[in-house]
Structure 1
């Protein structure tokens, strides 16, 4: 099983949850785009660094082939899933009020 086949169902599920969470909120989509861009850029930079210093290796037979820096494109899937899940949870879980969280009304 390739890394892409492993990632695809998780990526689709995370994307569906995110779409449900921020349906018509333009600011939500903009924030998602900024967060996703930042996390993906950091993923490319730091994964390339870790691969360059030989912290880990991939089975080349399980990769799609394209790379950004030294990082295979599949690595971006993991970071994308993380961002999408955090955004979906942020939007779908109810916010706790200050009183319920134990805060004071100073």
Structure 2
């Protein structure tokens, strides 16, 4: 059951990162569950082939024994935790790179306010040359 307890910790840790630490809240979004369903199919395929052919073997004393397509359910839990943690970090880092708040609710642009500088002004617009003028005119 050692492997089982490790996967429980991985699932709780990934969920805590998503909901509390990074606050990306992917677990509450339909898009996450749709993408996870697609990845789950491929995970079953690859994991089933590797365990079904005996390439990967598990000590029966360290797992529950419940299998899905030859794969122990613990493997599916680790896969879920890995995908959730990876996507949560991806979303949080993407928010940081674009200037959106890393934590909290819906993504929205950062506006000037107490303790936050105003965004830089837009560069001045260049006037197109008038017809018939040459570049040396001006």
Taking structure 1 as the reference length, the TM-score comes to: 0.76
- Residue in structure 2 matched with residue 9 of structure 1 by the alignment: 9
**Alpha-carbon contact 1:22-1:29 (below 8 Å) kept:** no
Q: Which shifted more, 14-23 or 47-56?
A: 14-23
Q: Which runs of 4+ in 1 moved over 6 A?
A: none
- Structure with bigger helix share is 1
Q: How does 1:64-79 map to 2 (within 5 A)?
A: 64-79=64-79
Instruction: Give the SS at the match of 2:57.
Output: coil
Instruction: Give the SS at the match of 2:90.
Output: helix
Please report the RMSD computed on the Cα atoms of aligned residues, expressed in angstroms: 2.2
Q: How does 1:1-106 map to 2 (within 5 A)?
A: 2-20=2-20, 21-23=23-25, 29-93=29-93, 94-96=96-98
**Alpha-carbon contact 2:44-2:71 (below 8 Å) kept:** yes
- Deviation, 1:22, is 2.9
Tell me how many residue pairs correspond in the alignment: 95
Structure 1: runs of 5 or more not aligned: 98-106
Taking structure 2 as the reference length, the TM-score comes to: 0.60
Tell me which structure has the larger Cα radius of gyration: 2
Query: Which gives a bigger RCO, structure 1 or 2 (Cα 8 Å, sep 6+)?
Result: 1
- Deviation, 1:89, is 0.6
